[in-house]
């Protein structure tokens, strides 16, 4: 259960970074 939560958190962090990057490029 703990590992699953960590993976989910990492994916969200990665997704947020991708969004920020795409916004900066515009």
- CA–chain centroid gap for 10, Å, is 6
CA atoms 14, 16, 17, 23: torsion sign: positive
Number of domains in the chain: 1
| Domain coverage including residue 22 | 1-26
Helices (H), 1-26: 2-25
Q: pLDDT by residue (tens digit) across 1-26?
A: 789 989 999 999 999 999 999 999 88
Residue 8 CA to residue 26 CA, distance in Å, equals: 28
Amino acid 9: pLDDT: 93
Residue 3 CA to residue 10 CA, distance in Å, equals: 11
| Predicted model pTM | 0.53
Q: Give the Cα-Cα-Cα angle 18, 24, 12 (nearest 5 degrees).
A: 20
């Amino acid at each position: 259960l703990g590992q699953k939560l960590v993976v989910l958190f990492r994916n969200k962090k990665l997704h947020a970074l991708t969004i920020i990057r795409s916004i900066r490029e515009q």
